[in-house]
Amino acid sequence: MTQPWIRKREIVLIAVLAAAALTAAIFFALPKQHSGVTVRIEQAGKLVQTFDPAVDAVYHIEGSCGGLDVEVKNGQWHVINEQCPNHICAEMGWRTAEDVIPVTCMPNEIVIYVGERE
């Protein structure tokens, strides 16, 4: 095989794709507006993530049972892709800043609750 590992124009194409992805990633990561509410996520008693429910996003949380994702959309959040045997966390459905009961995934030792309010 006399073929090179990679060619110049292939590097250019990959660089263009990477630049496009980076631009999109930065765009999505830009803070949009603030709700004054901070939601906290604890795993095994430790704070692992906070988020503003006004910012649409998906957070991956590692847990004792494989973890889960928290999807935030239109000021609400819910659990998806949960790696737990009972799926109670996902069945709790969409939560808002008004909800008092935290979303809990016992197998993963993850608790998602409303923290500070401004």
Partner 1 sequence: MKTKRFVYLALLAAMAIALNLFESAFIGSFAYGIRIGLANIIALITMRFLGVREMLAVNALRVIIGNLLRGLLFAPSFFIGAGGVILSSLVLVILNRTASTVVFTSVLSSLAHSAGQLLVVILLYHQPGMAVLLPYLMLGSIGAGILTGVTAALALKRIEPLRLNG
The DSSP result for 1-68, as a single string, is ----S--HHHHHHHHHHHHHHHHHHHHHHS-----SEEEEEEETTEEEEEE-TTS-EEEEE--TTS-E
Contact 54, 36 (CB under 8 A): no
105 binds, among Zn ion, partner 1, none (CB under 5 to 8 A by kind): Zn ion
Q: Which residue, 23 or 81, has its beta carbon nearer to Zn ion?
A: 81
Least Å distance, CB 118 to partner 1, is 26
Residue in 50, 81, 86, 96 binding partner 1, rule: CB under 8 A: 81
List of residues contacting partner 1 (CB under 8 A): 1, 3-7, 10, 13-14, 17-18, 20-25, 28, 56-58, 60, 71, 73, 80-81
